[in-house]
Amino acid sequence: MKSRSLRMIMALCLCFTLVFPATALGAKEFSDTKGHWAISYIQDLADQGYINGYPDGTFKPDRTMTKAEFTTALIGSLGITPSEPTKNSYPDTKSHWARKYIEEAVARGILVPSESTQLGPDQNILRSQAAAMIVRALQLETSGGTSIFTDRDDVERSLYSDEIKAAYDVGIISGFPDGSFAPYREMTRAQVCTVLVKMLEVKGGTIKPIKPIVSGTVKDLAVGDELFNLNTTSLIFKSGFSEVPVTSLAVANDVLTVNSRYVYGLDRSTGNPDVVVGNTRYTSSRMTVNGTKLVVYPISRHIHSLQLDGYKYNADYINLYVKSQDKGLYLADMKVVDEYTVEVENQRYDLREDRISIEVNKKFYDITRIQLLPGQTDPRLKETDPVVFRGMSLSDISAIYVGRDTLDVDKIDDINFFIDGKRYNLSDVTIDASANISVGRNSFSPDDVIMAIDDWNYVIDEITYFKGKFIFDLKERHLMDLVYFNDSYIDQDDITIMKGITEYKFDDVLVVDRNILRIGGKNYDIRDEDIKCLVDNKVWDMERIDWNTRLNMVEITAKESKDTYWASQPKDYIFYDEKGRKIHQGVDDDVTLYLNKRWVTFDDVRIADPTTLTYSGRTYDMVGLRLNIDDDYYVIEETSWSSSGTLSIYLEDY
């Protein structure tokens, strides 16, 4: 029994020694903090008596701190002398050594018992909990905070998400070099000293804060919780594709001067350069100078360069492929979240499940994981089969199928692709392992691309790669007729010819000669008649229409029309049943009309007025027309076109 009591007394003494004011013990330097990234914060806090070390003269900066120890240090740093407690806010702190500090924190709203029935005073303090307690202690505003962390999902799930953002915004607690906040990570004693010093800077407390030097030389770099000595560490400032290797840093009047030439503003929320240490590039939300230390607040972590086979490659020029797709991305576009998690275009990927590949010197590698060290972000690579194919020729194609028929590749003279209105040769496009076709930084699925084989146009059904060559499957008898419209190639089915108030499908119109069209058995000159065309839901005045013998297709030159009749179409469609209930909104493929002995979609008709539509050269009264919505049949009973642009269509069962 005496032994147990002695152990309890020793434990209590140790706790008091670690977190209570050090004036009685005498502030001193610690034997294990020299060279530590947080030495200035530790020493400043200890010198003011707000935290102490261990009896053996050590501080143990990387050891975790409990909630009770943090609460005691926080209350002490605020200069508060706790009152003797008169109640117990938590059932597990009734006889705890830190009870009066805990109750003082409760009384001041720093701890909130309603959040948890137990405090867990001897559990380690988490970063989110520390942020919340500090924000409450300073009574900081918690609405409208900034959310820029790479682990924002974890931050938002935290009970203290608003407090985390508030603490970050005022510079009390920062994220890690990879851009994460890690709300559920335990805090070390060094980290606690850092945030308490920064808290007092914000509060304007009695402690002497570390202030930016008025003038002098910067010797160290702090990125998040990582500290680098600039005498032994290479540093680059990067803005876009411009890089400035740093040989000297000096600060004066809140301005950072690099190499006695380049000037950067401090404490700015925008316009900060990226910081490159080793092969790691950090994007930053803010830069400031504390003492002789440049402090960078990181947003995200990226790979800046890659060492492979004795050569160094710039990540800005290393092609990156996501799930075997070529999206025109580069390795520098990839954010590194942790060892197995990366983020590309705001989408996260697990390297253990998702294939992320790079191309270096015409070789392809899968990234299997990423080793994270201070200033080093090293991807682990595994060489793999090609992910993309460029500069293709007919010899790279083993077969082309059109339905059950096979085209003789040896007899083909030319293959082109029509992509997004432009024409490209086979050698101009890139095909990736997922069968996507790319031009520049834009990628397209096969069914969005028209393949032209000796001037015959096809829709691609499937592309496969087998034994080093490609096989194309084209849709049987699905030939595409194209029109060269204002320097773009478009499907003729997407063009409507309009004469007066009547519409005609392009297929029903014949180009007889330059600017001469045959419509309904008669010839019309577009220069003399009221003839327009509808493309991309816009009305165009045709200036010239002719057959282009070089392209082997019709060519149209047009300018956007100011005609209000055709340009004015309903902005929305709402369908009501017999009881006046809304049963459908919008016109899609599920809504069809029965016109001229066939079912057509609303995309094929034009609304002339609230009761009339036109289709294929004919005008129809809408009332009485049969209509199908999701395989249910109706008859149009009444229509109305509101001033807001909504066409209401009232139906009765057919």
Residue 227 has what pLDDT? Answer: 85
- Tokens (6 digits) for 231: 């005498």
- Residue 629 placed within a domain: yes
d(CA 578, CA 574): 13
d(CA 464, CA 36): 57
Examine the pLDDT at 52 and tell me if it is beyond 50: yes
Q: Are 202 and 170 in contact (CB under 8 A)?
A: yes
d(CA 375, CA 230): 12
Question: Considering the chain, what is the average pLDDT of its residues?
Answer: 85
Averaged pLDDT for residues 24-38 = 70
Query: Among the three residues 540, 566, 592, which one is the final residue of a domain in this structure?
Result: 566
Residues 63 and 197 grouped into a single domain: yes
Residues 340 and 256 grouped into a single domain: no
Bridge-partner residues for 216, per DSSP? 251
Residue 12 has what pLDDT? Answer: 42
Averaged pLDDT for residues 278-286 = 91
Please report, rounded to a whole number, the percentage of residues in the chain having pLDDT higher than 70.
Answer: 91
Averaged pLDDT for residues 106-116 = 87
- Residue 531 placed within a domain: yes
Residue 523 has what pLDDT? Answer: 94
Query: Among the three residues 441, 462, 480, which one is the final residue of a domain in this structure?
Result: 480
Query: Residue 276's pLDDT band (boundaries 50, 70, 90)?
Result: very high
Averaged pLDDT for residues 246-254 = 84
Examine the pLDDT at 542 and tell me if it is beyond 80: yes
Examine the pLDDT at 3 and tell me if it is beyond 50: no
Choose the weakest-confidence range: 166-175, 455-464, 564-573.
564-573
The number of domains in the chain is: 6
Averaged pLDDT for residues 491-511 = 87
- The CA distances from residue 40 to 29, 34, 36, 142, in Å, are 11, 10, 9, 29
Averaged pLDDT for residues 507-526 = 93
Dump pLDDT digits (tens) for 391-425.
899 999 999 999 888 999 999 999 999 998 888 99
Choose the weakest-confidence range: 189-198, 284-293, 372-381.
284-293
Residue 563 has what pLDDT? Answer: 75
Residue 367 has what pLDDT? Answer: 97
Residue 478 has what pLDDT? Answer: 55
- Residue 410 placed within a domain: yes
- The CA distances from residue 362 to 354, 426, 436, 639, in Å, are 22, 19, 19, 63
- Residue 53 placed within a domain: yes
Dump pLDDT digits (tens) for 588-615.
778 999 998 889 887 678 888 889 988 8
Residues 55 and 198 grouped into a single domain: yes
Residues 243 and 195 grouped into a single domain: no
- Tokens (6 digits) for 102: 């805990």
Examine the pLDDT at 10 and tell me if it is beyond 50: no
Examine the pLDDT at 516 and tell me if it is beyond 90: yes
Residues 339 and 367 grouped into a single domain: yes
The β-bridge relationship of strands 397-402 and 469-479 is parallel
Averaged pLDDT for residues 239-264 = 86
- Residue 209 placed within a domain: no
Query: Among the three residues 302, 323, 358, which one is the final residue of a domain in this structure?
Result: 302
φ and ψ at residue 46, rounded to 5 degrees:
-70, -40
Residue 217 has what pLDDT? Answer: 78
Query: Residue 6's pLDDT band (boundaries 50, 70, 90)?
Result: very low
- Residue 130 placed within a domain: no
Residues 457 and 473 grouped into a single domain: yes
Examine the pLDDT at 382 and tell me if it is beyond 90: yes
Residues 507 and 359 grouped into a single domain: no
Length of the chain: 654
Dump pLDDT digits (tens) for 427-456.
999 898 888 898 877 888 888 888 999 878
Choose the weakest-confidence range: 200-209, 272-281, 288-297, 495-504.
200-209
Q: Tokens 């008025």 sit at which residue?
A: 214
Residues 268 and 342 grouped into a single domain: no
Residues 472 and 337 grouped into a single domain: no
d(CA 106, CA 131): 16
Averaged pLDDT for residues 149-157 = 82
Dump pLDDT digits (tens) for 544-577.
999 998 888 899 999 998 876 666 778 889 999 9
Examine the pLDDT at 61 and tell me if it is beyond 60: yes
Residue 86 has what pLDDT? Answer: 85
Query: Residue 26's pLDDT band (boundaries 50, 70, 90)?
Result: very low
Residue 144 has what pLDDT? Answer: 57
Examine the pLDDT at 11 and tell me if it is beyond 60: no
Averaged pLDDT for residues 6-32 = 50
Q: Are 491 and 485 in contact (CB under 8 A)?
A: no
Residue 552 has what pLDDT? Answer: 83
Residues 293 and 318 grouped into a single domain: no
493-496-502 Cα angle (round to 5): 140
- Residue 147 placed within a domain: no
- The CA distances from residue 218 to 209, 382, 576, in Å, are 18, 41, 72
- Residue 248 placed within a domain: yes
Residue 8 has what pLDDT? Answer: 41
- The CA distances from residue 484 to 4, 17, 512, 523, 579, in Å, are 93, 84, 17, 22, 49
Dump pLDDT digits (tens) for 198-233.
898 888 743 333 343 445 678 889 887 788 988 889
Residues 286 and 332 grouped into a single domain: no
Examine the pLDDT at 107 and tell me if it is beyond 90: no
Residues 298 and 308 grouped into a single domain: no
Where in the sequence is the domain holding 21, given as residue range(s)? 2-125+186-203
Residue 605 has what pLDDT? Answer: 83
Helix (H, G, I), strand (E, B) or coil at 42: helix
Residue 209 has what pLDDT? Answer: 36
Residue 212 has what pLDDT? Answer: 39
Helix (H, G, I), strand (E, B) or coil at 170: coil
Helix (H, G, I), strand (E, B) or coil at 252: strand
Residue 340 has what pLDDT? Answer: 94
Residue 238 has what pLDDT? Answer: 92
Examine the pLDDT at 251 and tell me if it is beyond 70: yes
Residue 260 has what pLDDT? Answer: 85
Q: Are 135 and 163 in contact (CB under 8 A)?
A: yes
Examine the pLDDT at 124 and tell me if it is beyond 70: yes
